[in-house]
Amino acid sequence: MKRDRRLLSTVLVSAVSAAVLLLAWLAAMSLLLGAVIEPDLRRQFLDALLPHLPLVAMGVLLLALPAGYLARALHLRWVAGPARLLEQAQALLAPGVDRELPMTGSAEMRGFAEAINLLARQRSELGRDIEARVAQASRGVEQERNRLAALMSELDQSVVVCNLDGRILLYNSRARLQFRALSSAPMLADGAELIGLGRSIYSVFDRRLVAHALGGVRSRLQRGAANPTARFVMLTQGGQLLRVRMSPVRDVAPDESGKPGSGGSGGGEHDSGEAVDRTPPLAGFVLMLENVTVEFERESERDRLVLSLADETGSALARVGSQIERLAAGSEVPSVRDRLAEQARDEVEAMRRRLREVAARFAHGATGRWPLEEVPGAEFLDGARSQIEANAGVRCAIDEVDPALWLRIDGFAVLEAIGALAQRLRDEHGVRDIRLRLAEGEEDRVNLDLVWSGGAMSTETAMTWELDPIPAGAAMLTVREVAQRHAGSFEFLRDRARQLTFFRFVLPRAREMAEVEAEAFLRGRSRPEFYDFDLFQSSATTRALEDRRLAELAFTVFDTETTGLEPSAGDEIIQIGAVRVLNGKLRRSESFEQLVDPRRSIPRASIPIHGIEPHMVRGQPTIDQVLPAFHAYAQDTVLVAHNAAFDMRFLQLKEEATGVRFEQPVLDTLLLSAVAHPNQSSHRLEAIAERFGIAVIGRHTALGDALVTAEVLLRLIPLLEAMGIHTLGQAREEAQRTYFARLSY
């Protein structure tokens, strides 16, 4: 029974009890009088008393109300107060809570609070001591995890690790960028990814194709292969071609005694002679991905060139052969012979031009096969400046570079070429100051300029420098060869208006994944945590969702900012923020945050609350674009919000317009707080956060509120489990019994 009901029951019972006692006293007095007074006198007494019964009833009521008020005061002091203190003390038991109870109430209550605070301080000190000891003991393991995270982050190849259900439990940054490039939908929001911890790889990969490859790996394992792999090529929905290599993640096989890792002494057979399968069971699989779309297109184009050249050359040779035969016969008149000779020369010249064209295109493809790296333009120029100043002895300045501009180059060769040119400018023309600038060129090219003033140079000298060898690695390359290696060019130019002279390298610009990486670089994020080996233990297909334990579920905790509080009256969403909670951990690195153009005005009174000005949403994607992206982000998870009925109403009103329905279960931290702490006076998000000692940062921003709500959820789950509420179904059932579940929007 909840706090208000208990208080009301106490007051009513006290008032009724007082009334019953008074009536009982009157009845007893009547019987006593009847025993000692004559009947005539008793009748006269009752006749005199009956007109005054309303006054008697009023007296009963006046006595009952003070009794009820006294009962209420006693209830608040001795029942509700200890109940609140109990709930606050239970909140201190949640992981990560480091705070003390307020010293309020009676002297006894303050004494209890002080004792609990003392125990909490001792517990915190003990916890810190244990954490220090655990940290010291696990330092080696943590170093290995950090090395793994660093290795996975810096690998040039995309790596994804999945459990047997196809749920992603590890991936590196390159894989994240690779999956962004595979997405056919526009990236509307940070975090609207095809990839994410706990998400299914089958949102991109064909389940049957993966199952077939995994079956082949199992078969080779059973035949005794040490490191079996499977390779296949798949075409994604976005039209990208992926070359995939699959390797198994093997579990530890228990022996007959149940101890993992022991091989036993039976040699592969029981005493009965029956063969024992010693193949360790699989825990999951590793996918190494390579996008070969461009490579395949180049090979296809080369094949088309060869076939067309063979066809054209064969036809041309046949025509030339026919003309030669007619000339050799000598039967033609001179004018005809001249015409045949001219036609033969034209055919030969056309074949020569065609061969040069094909050779040039083949050369472009050959240079494109040289291993090139993708680097930020600003970072490359910083390195070039340091090398020029250190080796060439020339002062070097850099013009401002667009941070989104990336290069795809052989960095060592280009640095050597620039350094050699700077040194020759100093030695042969006395140049002491140069400047480097980088700007976007035509098509997919960038212009890298080495600029100087003074030190006049002729075009002939520049051409000589272009052909002179420079040291670049093991081979002696020329500046021209460095440019050709990049399928680019080297130019000598003059800006007569500003009296500047400069060399220009035309180099390839990095596309797609490097530009996506530049966006992450600009946001200044540190390396995110993209691994969780505990997910090997999860299985999304073994139990119905309602019967799953809360600690095992994947949650999408979200919040919306809106133009107002009346979704049915035309108020609109102006921001959606969300974060994932997976395997009992908050995944800050996989957040979702997007402003939304409401296509209506934002009331001035609401701006101080959420801080979103009209100009901030102008030109942003509309809700019919954002909601499908959020729907994909929240797929296969349980939705969680604080006062979820409000946010869900906004989503439900847009189902028809956007074509997406949120049919997954929903949990409300407001209702769960009322279940766990029924005696607390407030279940506002700030009040709950204060009880749990959660720092509130970014309140009334969608992502900020979602992060606080996720922290609250993680602290509520252990309290609910202590109350016997373990599964999603039990939590939803208990939440619906609270008073707040009756609110509607």
Please, where are the H alpha helices in 509-575? Answer: 513-522
The set of residues, in sequence order, having a beta carbon less than 8 Å from that of 655 and lying 6+ positions away, is: 661, 662
Structure-block tokens of residue 99: 């705070």
Enumerate residues 6+ apart whose C-beta is below 8 A from 434: 388, 394, 395, 396, 397, 422, 425, 450, 451, 452
Per-residue burial over 160-190, b = 16 or more CB atoms within 10 Å of its CB, e = otherwise? bbbbbebbbbbbbbbbbbbbbbbbeeeebbb
Q: Please give the structure tokens belonging to residue 297.
A: 């297109």
Q: What are residue 374's DSSP bridge partners?
A: 408
CA–CA dist 444, 442 (Å, integer):
6
* Plot region of 31 (φ>0 → left; ψ -120 to 50 → alpha; else → beta): alpha
* Encoded tokens for 543: 């139990």
Q: Which of 212, 683, 700, 726 is catalytic?
A: 700
Pairing of strands 241-250, 230-235: antiparallel
Task: Return the number of other C-beta atoms located less than 10 Å from residue 48's C-beta.
Answer: 9
Distance CA 146, CA 345 (A): 70
By three-state DSSP, how is residue 682 classified?
coil
Whether the Cβ atoms of residue 292 and residue 348 lie closer than 8 Å to each other: no
Contact 406, 375 (CB under 8 A): yes
Amino acid at 572: E
Taking each continuous run of H as one helix and of E as one strand, the counts in the chain are 24, 19
> Around Cβ 309, how many Cβ atoms within 10 Å?
16
**CA geometry: angle 9, 15, 21, nearest 5 deg:** 130
Output Rg (C-alpha) for the chain, integer angstroms. Answer: 40
- Rounded (10°) CA dihedral 662, 665, 669, 671: 110
Q: Which residues of 247-258 are buried (b: 16+ CB within 10 A; e: fewer)?
A: ebbeeeeeeeee
Cα–Cα distance measured from residue 168 to residue 195, given in angstroms and rounded to the nearest whole number = 8
Residue 417 in contact with residue 505, Cβ under 8 Å? yes
The amino acid that residue 216 corresponds to is G
Q: How far apart (Å, rounded) are the C-alpha atoms in residues 300 and 297?
A: 5
User: Residue holding tokens 């020339």?
Assistant: 394
d(CA 468, CA 466): 6
DSSP SS3 for 120: helix
Q: Which of 7, 13, 5, 26 is nearest to 64 (CA)?
A: 13
* Distance of alpha carbon 189 from alpha carbon 703, whole angstroms: 12
700 catalytic? Reply is yes
The alpha helices in 291-395, defined as continuous H runs, are: 293-329, 334-368, 377-387
Query: 370-394 burial, b for 16+ CB within 10 Å, e for fewer?
Result: eebebbbbbebbeebbebbeeebeb
Tell me how far apart the alpha carbons of residues 689 and 686 are, in angstroms, rounded to a whole number. 5
> In angstroms, rounded to a whole number, what is the distance separating the alpha carbons of residues 579 and 564?
23
Angstrom distance (rounded) from CA 345 to CA 353: 12
**How many Å apart are CA 647 and CA 576, to the nearest integer?**
10
Instruction: Tell me the CA end-to-end span of the chain in Å, nearest whole number.
Output: 27
CB 708 within 8 A of CB 609: no
Say which residue the tokens 């999860």 belong to: 538
Residues recognised as catalytic: 700
